[in-house]
């Protein structure tokens, strides 16, 4: 299982538009992707309700995990997405 740690760059955190963009990208990987705050239980990264309930704010770290063929590449693309201010675009 591949994993990555990334700091949330969106000024509003993973809420509303940034969460929707992240969930869409996670769904498009076709893999089982999870997201969690360090030390907390992971949630399904393809669930908008799960991602928003995570409450990840600007500047907080989250851990992404994925399993399957292409997991490393998929996580790299999701890390790149979360490393941008998605609410400013």
User: How far, rounded to the nearest angstrom, does the alpha carbon of residue 33 sit from its chain's CA centroid?
Assistant: 8
Out of 14, 15, 51, 62, the active site residue is 15
34 is annotated as an active-site residue: no
Residues serving a catalytic function are 15
């Amino acid at each position: 299982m591949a994993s990555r740690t990334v700091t949330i760059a969106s000024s509003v955190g993973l809420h509303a538009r940034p969460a929707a963009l992240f969930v869409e990208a996670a769904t498009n990987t076709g893999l089982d992707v999870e997201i969690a705050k360090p030390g907390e239980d992971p949630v399904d990264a393809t669930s908008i309700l799960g991602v928003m309930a995570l409450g990840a704010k600007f500047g907080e770290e989250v851990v992404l995990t994925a399993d399957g063929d292409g997991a490393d590449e998929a996580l790299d693309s999701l890390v790149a997405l979360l490393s941008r201010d998605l609410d400013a675009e």
